[in-house]
Amino acid sequence: METSRKTIDEMLSVRDDELLVEECRAADLARRFGTPLHVVSEDQLRRNLSRFQSAFERHWPGPTLLLPSIKANGSLALRRVLTLAGAGCDVFGEGEFEAALRTGTPPEKISLNGPMKSQGLLERAVRAGVMITLDDIGELETAAAASRAVGRPARVRLRIRPDLAGQASASEMSAAGDSIHEAYQRYKAGIPTGDLLALDRVAPEIELRGIHFHIGRHSADPEVWVEAVGDLVEIIEGFRARLVGWSPSEIDIGGGFPVPRDPFGRLLPQRRQADDGLAPGPEQYAAAICPALEGGLRSIGVDPASVRIELEPGRAIYGDAGIHLARVGNVKRQAGPQPMTWVETDSSDAYLPDVNLEFNRWRCLVVERPLAAPEITADVTGRTCALDVIIPDAELPRVEAGDLLAFLDTGAYQDAGSHNFNSLPRPGTVLVHGREAELVRRHETVDDVFARDLVPEHLAEEKADGPRPWRPYLIDHVAVNCADLGRSVHFYCEVLGLELRARGESDGTDEFAITGRGEVPIRWADVEVGDGQVVELIEYGGPRPPDPAKAGDQVHVALRVSDIEAVHRRICEEGPRPADPFLIETPGAWQGARVFYATDPDGVSIELVQPARG
């Protein structure tokens, strides 16, 4: 029988004096997956998306499209939830573009944003058919060149920079107390209005679809958006006067919408005394923005029903769908000269960076007694050597080592903005769906933290017996001999989803002669697994195909070394002399490497590789 249950919000509740995320006990999640830990509700993501979609569909006479910003949370599993729910995606740069594609977002629902986009990236975007949001007037020519290279039109929107001259109230993201107008002018994104209004034609390869503008989270007041819409309409009117006959078919109004409890900026003076009630929701924003934009467009001769309105709610979709769990490790008190209490946790402001970046004040609950009344005032801190205050002057019930804390509304930007100060591995993420919970982003390890580091050869560690330059330090690649290269490429690339890095053919007289097969024609392909790891597929032709019964004929392993001559001498001292190291001069991924083949005691081929310098 269900015991008494108190609801905190749609996702969080208290039963038997314990915090639940949907139907999962937060304490169980911490025990099962470890802390610190990000926890996100799939159901809440879907509810938030549906609420925005419904509100703007109700208030806008034309089509609508939601493009939740993946920068708010880059987890592929979370993005997949939104893709399955029908959402598009705003992506900033190549990495986020790749994430959207990998999670199945339809290309026509992707908006590629960001500055200094390369022609190569734009060619890929044009080929895929995504919406390209240009950030500078010079990108028009780059997009046109990409279009010509691909042979199809580039679907383009222009990102504008409205003046917001009338926005005199204090920006809620400015520590200096700047007005919204002043704070917004410092943000680099978008085409300056002067450049935009000097444009009177676009290349025929450009399909100019619309306008993009994004003012960001300067205020929770819907009237700020209404005033910004006025600036938007004025710019569209001026642009239409220059580009005669053009009308927008898409207008992207950006994001910046708050989460209901709205921790944003509450450490700043202008927000410290803010009402603790819930911030305006999608319905209030839609009811304010849509009529203002509809009326503005009608006033300049644009039919609103012909315009698709698009929006990019990132924090408002992800924010209150997530909590962060941390374990108390110590409670430290100081009597004087200034009385202080510190609740030290295994987390950090490195994992919840918006306490410093956006001056957020998190709401914190003790998981085992979330409804307990406050009894102490303490700084909740992390474990780095920085100031590392996650919540200053937090009002908490009495806590002790071993207690579990939940920081609310952390689903947006916290994991995305976290870092490895003090070489701390970042926490994993768990996705909750009803009673089910799965790890969707694993905890980092110390090895992950140092995975990108390379120690130059002259700094290599010396062991007790002196330097060991002959010691392999990495698996360079694994080669698999195959009967049909095309069939194998299909399996590895199409079935397993790996990326084809390169492929080619050889008559067996070049670097492949070191395999010992003589002048046997070879077809090969390099398939990249990730982090530079390669599976090399080799199809031998001619009179001597591989013998599957021989280990050395079926597969070989390539080990990377720093001194190919040293390892060659060492192998010669142990047994039969292998062929001398061979310099690969053929242009391509292996050019400049020195290699030779040896065999292990069971006849398995071992390739030793010294990569090209640099």
pLDDT, residue 518, reads 54
Per-residue pLDDT, averaged over 112-127, amounts to 93
The rounded percent of the chain whose pLDDT value lies above 90 is 62
pLDDT tens per residue, range 8-26? 999 999 999 999 999 999 9
Least confident of 106-110, 379-383, 429-433, 527-531: 527-531
User: Is the model's pTM score more than 0.95?
Assistant: no
**26, 366 Cβ separation under 8 angstroms:** no
Q: Which of 419, 366, 359 is nearest to 391 (CA)?
A: 359
- Give me the residue label for tokens 């990998």: 102
pLDDT tens per residue, range 560-595? 888 889 889 888 888 788 888 988 887 776 788 899
Residue by residue, what is the 3-state secondary structure of 215-249?
A: CCCCCCCHHHHHHHHHHHHHHHHHHHHHCCCCCCC
Residue 237 CB contacts under 8 Å (≥ 6 apart), including other chains: 300
Domains of the chain: 5-40+320-447 (2.40.37.10), 114-313 (3.20.20.10), 472-610 (3.10.180.10)
**140, 134 Cβ separation under 8 angstroms:** yes
Residue 1 binned pLDDT confidence (cut-offs 50, 70, 90): very low
pLDDT tens per residue, range 31-41? 999 999 999 99
Q: List Cα–Cα distances, 466 to 23, 457, 559, 560, in angstroms.
A: 59, 14, 21, 20
The rounded percent of the chain whose pLDDT value lies above 70 is 93
Rounded CA gap, 16 and 316, in Å?
30
Residue 552 has pLDDT above 70, yes or no: no
R_g (Cα) of the chain, nearest Å: 29
Per-residue pLDDT, averaged over 265-273, amounts to 87
Per-residue pLDDT, averaged over 52-80, amounts to 97
Q: Which two tokens mark 238?
A: 């001026």
Q: What is the DSSP string of 114-167?
A: -SS--HHHHHHHHHHT-EEEE-STTHHHHHHHHHHHHTS-EEEEEEB----TT-
Specify the 3-state DSSP secondary structure of 310: strand
Residue 550 has pLDDT above 50, yes or no: no
Angle at 160 between CA 158 and CA 165, to 5 degrees: 165
Q: Which of 292, 312, 311, 294 is nearest to 303 (CA)?
A: 294
What residues form DSSP beta bridges with 39?
A: 323, 430
**104, 128 Cβ separation under 8 angstroms:** no
Rounded CA gap, 103 and 465, in Å?
51
Average pLDDT of every residue of the chain: 89
Residue 519 has pLDDT above 80, yes or no: no
Rounded CA gap, 254 and 90, in Å?
9
- Give me the residue label for tokens 């769908």: 321
Residue 516 has pLDDT above 60, yes or no: no
Residue 401 has pLDDT above 70, yes or no: yes
Residue 471 binned pLDDT confidence (cut-offs 50, 70, 90): confident
Least confident of 40-49, 69-78, 496-505: 496-505
Tell how far CA 155 is from the center of its chain: 24
What residues form DSSP beta bridges with 13?
A: 7, 20
**228, 215 Cβ separation under 8 angstroms:** yes
Residue 517 has pLDDT above 60, yes or no: no
Q: Which of 38, 51, 6 is nearest to 432 (CA)?
A: 38
pLDDT, residue 570, reads 87
**34, 322 Cβ separation under 8 angstroms:** no
Residue 346 has pLDDT above 70, yes or no: yes
Burial class (CB in 10 A: 0-12, 13-18, 19+), 237: middle
Q: State residue 273 phi and psi, 5-degree precision.
A: -100, 20
Tell how far CA 555 is from the center of its chain: 36
Which helix H or strand E contains 38, and what residues bound it? strand 37-41
pLDDT, residue 562, reads 84
| Cis peptide bond prior to 337, omega within 30° of 0 | yes
